[in-house]
Structure formats: structure tokens, C-alpha cells
Chains A and B, each alone.
Chain A
Amino acid sequence: MSLNVDFHLDNETYRNYLNGHPVVMHSHHYLALITKLVEDLGDIGGQNILMDVVEESMRAIFDDYIQKNGLTSPFQKCNVGREYYSVFGLGKMIVTGNENGGEVRLVRSHIDEGWVSKWGSHNKPINYFTCGYIAAVFGAAFGKPLKSYTVTETASMAGGETEGKFIVKLS
């Protein structure tokens, strides 16, 4: 892994910091239930709210890292998001594509595997969190504004498939 990771606990506030950003630990139970909550709130756009918040929040972290480390190439910038995914404990992704879009394979997934462990397989894809995350990865890699990319989950580990697959398109 090439990502520089500085994880520490502030001795005064007892808050955890990852590369200067406050972070907190939860388990797969938490994200499974948050995912279920946004599904239950589909009539008010719950899934889109989660995707948008993830894209905005992650993008700020990627951009900060890219700027502080003087990264310039799309490949380097894309790797920041890809590697952070594993640092956050969210799994392992393989990213291919260019400025116009691409494809992401999810070979391990905290959210999908957590969902299955908690409730078993689902009848449709559930990884809204990672859709927003991937939009942030591509936006940061190619210097596009927020919501420039549409991400669609076309294969789902929670749905019983061996890998997740996400199609990314420049909007």
C-alpha cells in the first residue's frame, strides 16, 4: 500500500484522527442498519441522500490527501480513493476506466458481507454507500465537480454474486 496513514487518538478529546480527519469506529451491524434505514426511506430519497453524503465527505478527504502529497496523475489520485477504501475497513476494490467512466469490481465488501452475515442474501443490490464512494474516487481522480459521475451497481455480493460490480459514467 502506498497511502501514508497516520492514525492516532487525541489525548485530550479522545477522538480518533486519520490523516488529520476525525474518524470513529463502528461495526458491520451499524452500516447494515443504516443501509436498511435508507431503503425504508426510499420514498424520501434515502438512498440518494446516503450516496450524496458519502461522495461529498470522501471527496473532501481524497482532495486533501492529493493536495498535501502533491499528486498529479489520475492514476495516483485514483489510487488514493482505492486504498482509503481498505484503510476504512470497507473492503477491496479494483478500479479501471478513464475520464469518461469505467468499472469497479468489489472483491471484498464490508457492507455486502456484513449484510449477508446479519440477514442473508437480498433480492437487489444494497451498496448505496459504495456508489457514492466510487463517484468520489472518479471525481477526485479526474478533477470533476461533485455529482459528475453516475454509478450503478450491476452485480451484488449481497445479492448472492461472488463479486460486486459498479458501472461508472460521466453524467
Chain B
Amino acid sequence: MTVMRDTVVKSLAKINVQGDENGLIPEYDVLVNLLPVALLNTFTERIMAAAPAEKKKMVEDGLVRAAYECGYHTGCGIITSDIFNDVVLPMVTEGEKDILRGAYAAFTAWGWAKSGIVQLKEGEKMVIRANDYYESDCGGGGLRAYMFRGLCQAFFDLTYADPYPHGMDTFICHQTKGIEVGDSHGEFVVTKK
């Protein structure tokens, strides 16, 4: 049996996130937050619009980096969590490839993006398709899925680079299509840096 994506998504989507008595959400070895999509998208657009031409790359890189480090550390917490062990690991028969499939099902279940792997060359390249992701709501011009790029890069590093926490910055993700620019879906390509 390989990872059954829909089963994983349905199982993991039942998780409810609640702040504890201190108003904090300690899960997956990080502090989790729950923020309005409108806030994150508006921030992206305002900070990009305010940046002069020579600083736009720095802003883009900063937004990707925030998601990348979040995804790398949180992703490790997710794929080593009890719920991941209970739901995903019993289906794993193809090693790292299945772990990555399970991770993308979790990715979908936790509301980051409705997405999946469409092409995988193990340890070298991955193509992801996203049919819905919150950054596609951004009103600005151009490809805007900085969060998604950072997370894709993080998940591939976790799967195929040196073991956590030594595998950072091994791979890079580029966005090649975007709903926000009129394409039917978002497409993301991860390759070696």
C-alpha cells in the first residue's frame, strides 16, 4: 500500500487547533499561530508596493525565507508527530517518496494549499500542482505564492537533504504558474540549488 492521499487528508483535517490557558498553541515542537488570510495577503502587497525596485528581490526573498524556516522546522515536527505516525506511516511502502506524499496530504489538510505532487525524481526534482492556495487571492501583479514556495522547498529539504537540522538550503523552489496571474492552477518546481 502506498499513501492514500484522500484518507490522510480526511484524517488529519479532523485536528482542531485551540490555544491553551496561556493563549499559545504549542504543537509539532513550535508555537503555532492562526492568522487571517486577508492580513497576510495585504501585508505582502503593501510591503511589495512600498519597496523600491532595487529592494523588491529582498522583500520576496524575505517572505519566502519566513515560510521556508517555518516549513522546515514545523514540517519536521509534523512528520515526526504521533498523528503522522498513526495515520501516514502505516501506509508507507515506498520510503521517502511516501513520506513526502504524506507530508503534502498534511499540507492540504492543514489548510496551506489544496495541492499534490505531479512529478517526482527522487532527490533531484519535484513538480507540485496547487488548485487552491490563499496567496492566489493577492491583488497585486505577478506571481505571489511566496509562502508556498518556501514550504515546498522546506519539505523537499526535509525529505532528501541531510537529516534535520543540517539539510537546510539544499533545494530551491520556483513558481512557474499561478492562479493569481490567470493560470488554471499554481505550479511549483523544486530543484537542487
Main secondary structure of the interface of A (DSSP, over half): helix
CA distance A15 to B136 in the complex (A): 12
Of the listed stretches B26-34, B121-129, B169-177, B184-192, chain A binds B26-34
CA distance A99 to B128 in the complex (A): 51
A interface residues, tally (CB under 8 Å): 53
CA distance A28 to B148 in the complex (A): 17
Task: Say yes or no: is A140 at the interface (Cβ < 8 Å to chain B).
Answer: no
Q: Which of A9-24 contact B (CB under 8 A)?
A: 9, 13-16, 18, 21-24
Indicate if the CB atoms of A14 and B111 lie closer than 8 Å. yes
What is the minimal beta-carbon distance from B39 to any residue of chain A, in angstroms? 4
Interface residues on B, range: 35 or more
Q: Which of B19, B36, B70 contacts A27 (CB 8 A)?
A: B70
Indicate if the CB atoms of A40 and B62 lie closer than 8 Å. yes
Q: Which of B7-30 contact A (CB under 8 A)?
A: 9, 13, 16-17, 19, 22-25, 28, 30
Q: Which of B33, B50, B108 contacts A14 (CB 8 A)?
A: B108
- Known contacts: A14-B108, A25-B32. The answer to whether A56 contacts B42 by CB under 8 A is yes
Could you pull out 23 A-B pairs where Cβ atoms are within 8 angstroms? A7-B17, A16-B34, A16-B110, A23-B37, A23-B111, A25-B33, A25-B112, A26-B74, A27-B28, A29-B30, A34-B66, A36-B62, A44-B52, A49-B50, A53-B39, A85-B23, A86-B23, A88-B19, A89-B34, A92-B24, A107-B22, A108-B22, A110-B24
